[in-house]
Amino acid sequence: MSKLINQLNMEHLQVNHSLLVPSIFTERQFELLGKKVQEKKLNKVEQVYFSRAIAKKLQAISSLADLTERVFVEGEEKMIPERKKEAIKLLKTIERNHKGIKILIAGSFLYNKKYNDIDVFLISKYEKEDYRKNKVHFNYLNSDVVDSLFFSSLSKICVANFDLGFLKVKEEISLNQIITKYQEVMDDILNKNNKWLKIDLRDFIVDCNYVGEGVIMDSDQLRKVLDNLLRRKNKAKLINKLFVYSVLNGFKDKEVKTASLNMIKSYQDLMKKYSKFKEHHQVLINVFNEVLSCAS
């Protein structure tokens, strides 16, 4: 039963409401099932009612549908067929040791001949440490991550043991988020911190494409854009342009103007005290001025 619960989400339930109520569940039972799916706490009466009236029905449905054997594949057209097979095999093995947990295999292993490791994501209610076993990197994610842009991007090419068709990005990417990620990327360039640049730039590109174009990039598209940017000598200029375009396209002019003015003022203050970074601060001021002039 826990596995069937694992496959469900609220959107899934709501879409199928008329099929489920009253044929299988009463309205009250459906409501409780919804609470359980959303991992809301049930009181004692509800717990007893759930296990007596609902869990048994789920068990029966599960045995008919054989949902425990289901595998969901997204972005199959980009996958190397042998890797897809390997991933499904690996998913089944991991499932045996992690019963009732949502598992997803994603990343370059699925579509790129060369890969560093196999990324496995386990969605858990509890905080757990990530770990590595041979080539497999086990990443634990909280269940609230499912609504995030990061997860939507990740799951565009993946093999999973749960239905991803109903995923929606509920996370709102704020202007502050874009500005602070931009600061961090520029900081990585300043400090020649290439390891962090790769990580921070990846997040920045995903966010910019989402707010600026409404596009959720898959990991393959992202890798190509990232590699292309990283090998360029003038990457800072291109990143500046991406930033200016994304904030202007993704947010209201009034909000953009206020934020830009604040950042310009902050960097002007910083220049006085942190003279060592004067040149770097001037670049950032120029970029915020460009945003300001376009938004006016």
Partner 1 sequence: MQAEEIKDEIKKIVGEQINFEGHFNSVVGNMPEKIQLNLLEWIKKCKEQELDPKPSPNFRELLVFFFKPYITNIRGILTKKKNSYFIALFLDKHKYYDRERRKLGFG
Name the residues that contact partner 1, by CB under 8 A: 127, 129-130, 142, 173-181, 183-184, 187, 190, 195-196, 259, 262-263, 265-267, 269-270, 273-274, 276-277, 280-281
Shortest distance in whole angstroms from residue 266 CB to partner 1: 3
Which residue number, 112 or 183, has a Cβ lying nearer to partner 1? 183
Shortest distance in whole angstroms from residue 238 CB to partner 1: 21
Which residues, listed in sequence order, are joined to residue 228 by a DSSP beta bridge? none
Burial class (CB in 10 A: 0-12, 13-18, 19+), 87: buried
* SS3 call for 81: helix
- DSSP for 102-128 reads EEEEESGGGT-SS-S-EEEEEEESS--
Which residue number, 73 or 190, has a Cβ lying nearer to partner 1? 190
* SS3 call for 101: coil
Cα-Cα-Cα-Cα dihedral sign, residues 133, 148, 70, 157: negative
Alpha helices in the chain (DSSP H): 2-7, 10-15, 17-20, 27-37, 44-49, 55-65, 81-97, 149-154, 175-190, 194-213, 219-230, 235-250, 253-273, 278-295
Residue pair 83/111 in contact (Cβ under 8 Å)? The answer is yes
Shortest distance in whole angstroms from residue 184 CB to partner 1: 8
Shortest distance in whole angstroms from residue 174 CB to partner 1: 6
Residue pair 189/221 in contact (Cβ under 8 Å)? The answer is no
Which residue number, 178 or 244, has a Cβ lying nearer to partner 1? 178
* SS3 call for 189: helix
Which residue number, 118 or 247, has a Cβ lying nearer to partner 1? 247
* SS3 call for 47: helix
Shortest distance in whole angstroms from residue 129 CB to partner 1: 8
Shortest distance in whole angstroms from residue 265 CB to partner 1: 8
Please measure the distance between the N-terminal and C-terminal CA atoms of the chain and give it in whole angstroms: 58
Which residue number, 156 or 281, has a Cβ lying nearer to partner 1? 281
Which residue number, 161 or 246, has a Cβ lying nearer to partner 1? 246
Burial class (CB in 10 A: 0-12, 13-18, 19+), 56: exposed
Which residues, listed in sequence order, are joined to residue 138 by a DSSP beta bridge? 120, 131
Shortest distance in whole angstroms from residue 38 CB to partner 1: 21
Which residue number, 32 or 244, has a Cβ lying nearer to partner 1? 244
Shortest distance in whole angstroms from residue 130 CB to partner 1: 7
Which residue number, 23 or 176, has a Cβ lying nearer to partner 1? 176
